[in-house]
Amino acid sequence: MRFAPSGRDQGAGLSSAPWSCVGGAAETGESPRAGGWFTGLETLHRVSGRVRYRYRCRPGAPQDRHSIEREVGCLAGVRRVRANPPIRSLVVEFAPQRTDADALAGAIRALSPPGLPPAAEHDENSRLGVAVLSGAVLFASRGLERPLQAPAAVCASLPLLGEALADLFARGITSHVLEALAVGISIGRGDFLAANITTFLLALGGYLEASIERRSDDMLKHLLRPSADRVWVERHGAETLIDAAAVRVGDRVIAATGTTIPVDGTVLGGEALVNEATMTGESVPVRRRRGDRVLSATLVEEGRLRIHAERVGQQSAAARIADFVGQSLALKSRTQLEAARLADRLVPLVLGLAGTVGLLTVDGQRVAAVLQADYSCALRLATPVAFKAAMARAGRSAILIRSAKALEELAWVDTLVFDKTGTLTTGVLQVTDAIAFSPAYSAEDLTNLAASLEEHYVHPIARAVVEAARGLGHPRHFAHRAVQFVVAHGVASAIGGRRIVVGSRHFVEEDEGISTAAHAGTIERLRGEGKTLLYVGFGGELIGLLGMTERLRDNAAETLARLRGFGIRRILMFTGDQPERARALAAELDLDGFHAGLLPEQKVELLRGMVAAGDRIAFVGDGMNDAPALSGAQVGIAMHGGADTARLAADVALLEDDLGRVADALALAQATRRLIEGNFWLIASLNTGILGAAGLGLLAPVAASLLHNGSTLAILLRALTGAGLPRRP
Ligand SMILES: Nc1ncnc2c1ncn2[C@@H]1O[C@H](COP(=O)(O)OP(=O)(O)OP(=O)(O)O)[C@@H](O)[C@H]1O
Ligand SMILES: [Zn+2]
């Protein structure tokens, strides 16, 4: 049997940092598609700290002992789980001070089955069914005998009535209730055409929305798949890089700074700060060490872990991604929330108007006509549909926009802050100089030494060094101890018992106390040539320098010009590189300012200060050290090809290595804002007109329904087709 790992020791650190699991809805209570794995759960027997349930699984959901024990074992306070599927018995041991049998039962009921497709597809299909049914009724009922028309209309409107009743009990009077009331009055008055048209148009609208929602979900899911295709594992005592697909349960997987953890498992050794935002939405990293559970698709921000793989490949990824997408889609924009709130407030208004008209005129026809027109369905639907259409459009332009909220904020941005390496410059650096100072090492040795360490990391500099070593024709790997990565400084390890460091001058000189004074001349010469320098210190001595060049992106100037054209007031550069390089580039690109020599925390501090001062900032970065900054600005934009951390911390991720996409994203966001504002205006004026005319008795219910629903659909279609949104250039 498997023990829930959190049960081994209820260490203080562990219990204060509950890690989420698949279907961890029980903990967050927020996943929109939570629930439904266990349809029946009966408490059979309980004593302090132990409870036995009889359970029943939803048909089609996983029934195996392993899945059940694993998922239930993830719940807060659970120490140990034993499931016995043949007799449907589930024994759970828990920490009584943290939970009890009833709370646990609630949490178990709220679990969703791992790896099942989200409910959106069912929703879409059933809505299509309803739309087809009501459409058929609409067309057929003209030919029906009069006495058959009533039951047909009632039949077609049943789903609507059901939804309205459910709403009425759960949330009070909503637009669904108004719609049902209007349809009901029309049926009561024998106006079946009006009833059928309304039912059909509402059903069609519902289907369209579900369909676009599913499509944009699918796209996001596809785009968010973790990128790691090669994984370091420890086999027979040595670390080897293997295909992600070849990782097996029981493997010892190594995950280091800047990479996504490729498996679900338990930490065997090492220590790291892991960002579990993909799972929990919480972007403050948590410390993970021996005995802790870690989850695939979460990110190692700093440190290094040896992990015993318990779930690998699709098995772990599928569920994770579904969860993540659910979370990000649940993140509603302010506009969307405001529209929904406004819609709610307008419902009683329409109802009041209908009541007043009814009292004044005692004319059922007028009441039904007034009830046909309300603002809320258009208000409620048009905004999210426009956002999703824009997100889908963005996806086709190789821009992944994480949420409606991100898109909305991007439209308001007035300041852009760029990171340098890999963002304004191409992510590809070239090692041009390898200069050895010690006679014991040749220039080739120097490159090979540095590459032996750098091959373990993802950073443009690391990549350049590894490429340079490959380019030597006979790369040689120096056996070294585990590599330590110091963010924004460099890498360190030990070879033959002596410490080796490769990194910035600050790192080597100030942190490691290795003097560079003896080689000041060479350093100055290379810097004068505009080279980015890497210092190699070994055994406390500077043994050499690697000089690299980087190139501005071809379209950097053009993109910045476009951004200014979109109304961006300020364009800045924040870089970890030296001021000399930064100044030259800033002058070349005519930036409004720059800050150089920054550590990641300093980038965030600067951004926070600017946000506090009222700037609306988008930060564009690519590296793993950019993750904090990406979440520090209103909108974080991650370049393609950057570290996983950047991609997952970002609100907008570019899927092509093209800086121009930043301007495209901004153009799209602004166009979306215009589209939504236009829709607002249309909805308000059209429906006010309809309401007024209906109240004055100028519109029959059929006409009101056609006008209202027709215009609502037209507005939805306008949103859906993204009218006015820029197409992929
Ligand atoms: N993998 C690495 N190997 C060696 N040195 C590194 C490595 N990563 C970073 N450094 C050193 O730390 C410095 C700062 O790194 P950081 O990633 O913060 O900025 P950057 O890549 O130079 O520029 P930017 O901030 O514009 O992306 C680098 O200029 C380099 O000297
Ligand atoms: Zn190595």
439 in a structural domain: yes
Mean pLDDT value across residues 201-214: 74
Tell me the longest C-alpha to C-alpha distance in the chain. Answer: 104
pLDDT at 537: 96
pLDDT at 643: 62
- ∠ CA(550), CA(551), CA(555), 5° rounding? 150
CATH code of 15's domain: 3.30.70.100
- Specify whether 584 is located in the same domain as 708: no
Mean of per-residue pLDDT scores for the chain: 81
Amino acid at 474: H
Q: What percent of the chain has pLDDT over 70?
A: 85
pLDDT at 715: 84
- Specify whether 453 is located in the same domain as 598: no
- Ligand 2 centroid from CA 242, angstroms: 15
243 has catalytic annotation = no
pLDDT band at 277 (very low <50, low <70, confident <90, very high): low
> In terms of pLDDT, which residue wins out, 305 or 343?
305
Q: Which two tokens stand for residue 643?
A: 């570290």
Which residue's CA is the closest to the ligand 1 atom numbered 19? 576
Instruction: Please determine, for residue 220, whether its predicted confidence score (pLDDT) is greater than 60.
Output: no
Mean pLDDT value across residues 42-63: 83
- Specify whether 129 is located in the same domain as 79: no
Which residue's CA is the closest to the ligand 1 atom numbered 17? 488
- Ligand 2 centroid from CA 249, angstroms: 25
Ligand 1 pocket (Cβ < 6 Å) reads 419-421, 454, 457, 459, 461-462, 488-491, 502-504, 534, 575-577, 623, 625
Which residue's CA is the closest to the ligand 1 atom numbered 30? 504
Burial (0-12, 13-18, 19+ Cβ within 10 Å), 597: middle
Enumerate residues 6+ apart whose C-beta is below 8 A from 508: 490, 501, 514, 516, 535, 536, 537, 542
394 in a structural domain: no
Q: Rounded distance, CA 487 to CA 624, Å?
A: 8
Highest mean pLDDT of the ranges 203-207, 360-364, 438-442: 438-442
| 444-457: pLDDT as tens digits | 999 999 999 998 87
Instruction: Please determine, for residue 6, whether its predicted confidence score (pLDDT) is greater than 80.
Output: no
Mean pLDDT value across residues 639-666: 81
Strands 541-549 and 532-538, sheet pairing: antiparallel
Mean pLDDT value across residues 654-680: 92
Give the ipTM of the model, two decimals please.
0.95
- Specify whether 184 is located in the same domain as 131: yes
578 in a structural domain: yes
Q: Rounded distance, CA 461 to CA 453, Å?
A: 12
Mean pLDDT value across residues 677-704: 89
CATH code of 490's domain: 3.40.1110.10
Cβ pair 294, 330 in contact under 8 A: no
Ligand 1 atom nearest to 462, measured from its CA: 1
Mean pLDDT value across residues 282-294: 82
Ligand 1 atom nearest to 533, measured from its CA: 31
Q: Say which DSSP state 190 is in.
A: T
Nearest ligand atom owner, CA of 639: 1
- ∠ CA(513), CA(519), CA(523), 5° rounding? 100
- Specify whether 337 is located in the same domain as 311: no
Q: Which of 657, 684, 711 is the last residue of a domain?
A: 657
Cβ pair 52, 44 in contact under 8 A: yes
For residue 390, the Cα-to-chain-centroid distance in whole angstroms is 16
Enumerate residues 6+ apart whose C-beta is below 8 A from 722: 386, 389, 390, 392, 393, 672, 675
Pocket test residue of 467, 493, 504, 626 for ligand 1, highest count of atoms within 8 A of CB: 504
pLDDT at 437: 95
- Specify whether 25 is located in the same domain as 72: yes
Amino acid at 723: A
If we measure between CA atoms, which residue out of 47, 11, 43 comes closest to residue 108?
Answer: 43
pLDDT at 278: 60
- Specify whether 56 is located in the same domain as 74: yes
326 in a structural domain: no
Instruction: Please determine, for residue 722, whether its predicted confidence score (pLDDT) is greater than 90.
Output: no
pLDDT at 384: 77
- Specify whether 509 is located in the same domain as 642: no
Backbone angles phi, psi at 261, to 5 degrees: -70, 125
173 in a structural domain: yes
Question: Which range is least confidently modeled, 172-186, 323-337, 632-646?
Answer: 323-337
How crowded is residue 362: how many other Cβ atoms within 10 Å of its Cβ?
A: 9
Q: What is the four-CA torsion angle of 277, 282, 283, 287, rounded to 10 degrees?
A: -90
Instruction: Please determine, for residue 673, whether its predicted confidence score (pLDDT) is greater than 90.
Output: yes
Mean pLDDT value across residues 484-505: 91
Which residue's CA is the closest to the ligand 1 atom numbered 7? 490
In angstroms, the Cα distances linking 67 to 37, 91, 107, 109, 294 are 11, 14, 16, 15, 16
* Residue carrying structure tokens 């700060």: 273
Nearest ligand atom owner, CA of 482: 2
Instruction: Please determine, for residue 27, whether its predicted confidence score (pLDDT) is greater than 50.
Output: no
Q: Rounded distance, CA 464 to CA 475, Å?
A: 14
pLDDT band at 15 (very low <50, low <70, confident <90, very high): very low
88: left (phi over 0), alpha (psi -120 to 50) or beta: left
116 in a structural domain: no
pLDDT at 559: 97
Enumerate residues 6+ apart whose C-beta is below 8 A from 151: none
| 119-157: pLDDT as tens digits | 455 677 888 888 888 888 888 887 888 888 888 889 888
| 533-584: pLDDT as tens digits | 999 999 999 999 999 998 899 999 999 999 999 999 999 999 988 888 889 8
Instruction: Please determine, for residue 10, whether its predicted confidence score (pLDDT) is greater than 70.
Output: no
| 221-258: pLDDT as tens digits | 555 555 556 788 988 888 888 887 788 888 999 998 87
> In terms of pLDDT, which residue wins out, 212 or 323?
212
- Ligand 1 centroid from CA 294, angstroms: 28
Nearest ligand atom owner, CA of 240: 2
> In terms of pLDDT, which residue wins out, 535 or 349?
535
> In terms of pLDDT, which residue wins out, 681 or 723?
681
- Specify whether 244 is located in the same domain as 272: yes
Question: Which range is least confidently modeled, 24-28, 96-100, 360-364, 474-478?
Answer: 24-28
141 in a structural domain: yes
Instruction: Please determine, for residue 664, whether its predicted confidence score (pLDDT) is greater than 90.
Output: yes
Q: Which of 606, 633, 657 is the last residue of a domain?
A: 657
pLDDT band at 646 (very low <50, low <70, confident <90, very high): low
For residue 290, the Cα-to-chain-centroid distance in whole angstroms is 28
| 591-605: pLDDT as tens digits | 999 999 888 888 989
- Specify whether 441 is located in the same domain as 511: yes
Q: Rounded distance, CA 366 to CA 82, Å?
A: 64
- Specify whether 447 is located in the same domain as 492: yes
CATH code of 262's domain: 2.70.150.10
Nearest ligand atom owner, CA of 537: 1
In angstroms, the Cα distances linking 409 to 75, 147, 257, 383 are 35, 55, 30, 15
* Residue carrying structure tokens 């904020």: 409
Instruction: Please determine, for residue 84, whether its predicted confidence score (pLDDT) is greater than 60.
Output: yes
Catalytic residue from among 419, 433, 615, 644: 419
- Ligand 2 centroid from CA 1, angstroms: 38
Ligand 1 atom nearest to 534, measured from its CA: 31
> In terms of pLDDT, which residue wins out, 709 or 300?
300
- In terms of residue numbers, what domain contains 36? 5-109
Q: Which of 321, 348, 372 is the last residue of a domain?
A: 321
> In terms of pLDDT, which residue wins out, 694 or 296?
694
- Ligand 2 centroid from CA 545, angstroms: 19
- Specify whether 180 is located in the same domain as 198: yes
pLDDT at 281: 52
pLDDT band at 82 (very low <50, low <70, confident <90, very high): confident
Q: How many domains, the chain?
A: 5
If we measure between CA atoms, which residue out of 439, 464, 450 comes closest to residue 500?
Answer: 450
- Ligand 2 centroid from CA 267, angstroms: 22
503 in a structural domain: yes
